[in-house]
Amino acid sequence: MITIVIVSFIVFLLMGIPISMVLGMTTIVYFLVTGNAILLDSTPQRLYSGMENFGLLAIPLFMLTGELMNNGGITNRLVVFSRKLVGHVRGGLAYVTIISNMFLASILGSANAQAAMMSKVMVPEMEREGYKREFSSALTLASSIVAPIIPPSMIFIIYGTLSGTSIGALFMAGILPGIMYGVGFIGLIAYIGYKNSFPRSERSSMKEVWQSFIKVLPALLVPFIITVGILSGAFTATESAGVASVVAFIVGMFFYKELKWKKLPTILINTVISTATVTFLIAMANLFGWIIAFEQVPQYIANSMLSISNSPFVFLLLVNIFLLLIGTVLDGIAALIILVPVFMPLITAFQIDPIHFGVIICINLTIGLLTPPVGTGLFIVSSIAEVRFEKLVRAILPMLFLGIMILFIITYWEGSTLLIPKWLGY
């Protein structure tokens, strides 16, 4: 019976059906072939209960914040400030791409959204200065993986909701790994830039840098308020999303004056569509969880891994390999929703900190955006930047290997994720 269900899942996936529909359709097939059709009566209630969680309210609010900031003039100011800061060094515009992505990561929290936005802004600019289009596209996509790591992070919100882990602690745990990725990519660009004699821009005066900093300062209020508010206990991670939306509206409307009333309907529609896409996926994945529960998948995997080794080192190695493979064929959020209930009993058995594991699994699945054959980030950037898919894959391989190397450092250096949360008392 279960073989039919697995085959159905693969067939639906290969047919190009959206993953959310695949999860729901596979669950229905399971009910029918196992004689549990009576459970279809409870399906609507199951779908509703999967969304009945206060923590998930942060998703539409942070998406609204991102839309408000994007339409309020934040992107260009961040790019200009980064360019004034480091544009004069060799390969300066490549560094600008990385630094701008790190700034935007604290606002958008979505790698796909960030990659799409930065591809429009940076790829044409880099090409005009003499960089190859495929390299510019690959760098833009690769450096966008810090988006789900530096707070606020939608993927951390989902993991925290599923695992019962503090979302605020996860936000703080992502800061140091995000910096590690930024520094790692900067080091890679320094090497490639020296090897290929990347171009450089004119040095900006200290006055120009200072003026640019003053202009970008209001934009940085959003991540600052989110972080300080959570740390001070003034509001929860979910409540911080509401505060961030209000601040983003005020900054875009009254400081930069680029956010117009006529843009608000479009902003709200985009927020609703993005939220509906994610929440529908969460609901369907919760329905798919029935199969996992009925077939006792967590217990089976737990027993299998425990029979291989009782070493946390080996367990984390197997998990990373498994997730890197899963990330090549399955959307990161869908994989997270399916796998977190499976892994939670295991990390308890191996005495692994759930905050540390949350950062590992979220980074791992984000790397899937860069990984062929079906990394969604590859298709998004390939389409927007108008670069051939195979050329983009070839250009991104060094950055992909670097991303995996940093992942393993984070995996086996627990302090990289827990240092800041423990220091702050989580």
Assess whether 269 and 341 both reside in one domain: yes
Centroid of chain to Cα 243: 21
Residue 397 neighbours by CB under 8 Å, 6+ apart = none
34 and 81 co-located in one domain: no
In a domain, 31, yes or no: yes
Same domain flag for 322 and 395:
yes
Shared domain check, 62 and 25? no
**Cβ contacts of 8 within 8 Å, gap of 6 or more:** 25, 26, 29
In 3D space, the residue among 262, 267, 129 whose CA is nearest the CA of residue 202 turns out to be 129
Asked whether residue 63 falls in the same domain as residue 33, the answer is no
Instruction: Give me the domain span that covers residue 9.
Output: 1-38
- Calculate mean pLDDT across residues 261-284: 82
Q: Are residues 252 and 156 in the same domain?
A: yes
Is 112 domain-assigned?
Answer: yes
Specify whether the backbone of 354 is left (phi greater than 0), alpha (psi in -120 to 50) or beta. Answer: alpha
d(CA 18, CA 321): 25
Whether residue 219 contacts residue 201, with contact meaning beta carbons closer than 8 Å, is answered with no
Contact 141, 378 (CB under 8 A): yes
* pTM, to two decimals: 0.75
C-alpha 154/C-alpha 3 separation (Å) is 34
Contact indicator for 324, 135 with CB cutoff of 8 Å: no
348 and 279 in one domain? yes
- pLDDT tens for 349-369 read 888 999 999 999 988 888 877
- The reply to whether 49 falls in a domain is no
Dihedral of alpha carbons 418, 421, 422, 423, sign: positive
C-alpha dist (Å) from residue 163 to 41, 157, 336, 413: 27, 10, 11, 22
Q: Tell me if 161 is assigned to some domain.
A: yes
* Contact yes or no for 292/341 (Cβ under 8 A): yes
Q: Please list, in sequence order, all residues whose beta carbon lies within 8 angstroms of the beta carbon of residue 164, skipping any fewer than 6 positions away.
A: none
What gap in Å lies between CA 363 and CA 335, rounded to an integer? 12
- Which tokens hold the place of 160? 């925290």
Considering Cα of 64, then 265, then 52, then 369, what sign does the dihedral take?
Answer: negative
The pLDDT value recorded for residue 360 is 92
H/E element, 94? helix 92-108
The helix (H) or strand (E) run that includes residue 320 is helix 312-326
Q: What is the pLDDT of residues 112-156, one digit of tens each?
A: 666 766 777 778 777 777 788 888 888 888 887 777 777 777 788
Q: Do 4 and 152 reside in the same domain of the chain?
A: no
Number of domains in the chain: 2
The per-residue pLDDT for 321 is: 86
User: What percentage of the chain carries pLDDT values higher than 90?
Assistant: 7
The answer to whether residues 248 and 359 belong to one domain is: yes
Mean pLDDT computed over 9-26: 79
Nearest in space to 272 (alpha carbons), one of 59, 50, 25: 59
Tell me if 372 is assigned to some domain. Answer: yes
Report the range of poorest mean pLDDT among 20-29, 69-78, 245-254, 339-348: 69-78
Q: Is residue 213 domain-shared with residue 145, that is, in the same domain?
A: yes
Are 149 and 177 contacting, i.e. CB atoms less than 8 angstroms apart?
yes
User: Residue 46: inside a domain, yes or no?
Assistant: no
**243 and 181, same structural domain?**
yes
pLDDT in tens, 31-49: 888 777 777 777 777 777 7
Residue 343 lies in a domain: yes
For residue 109, pLDDT beyond 60: no
**Helix, strand, or coil here: 35?**
coil
Query: Could you tell me if 263 and 358 lie in one domain?
Result: yes
Q: What pLDDT does residue 302 have?
A: 63
Give the tokens for residue 42: 């409870």
C-alpha 389, offset from chain centre? 21
Give yes or no for a contact between 145 and 392, defined as CB atoms under 8 angstroms apart. Answer: no
Residue 293 is predicted with a pLDDT of 66
User: Would residue 47 count as lying in a domain?
Assistant: no
**Tokens of residue 133, six digits:** 């289009």
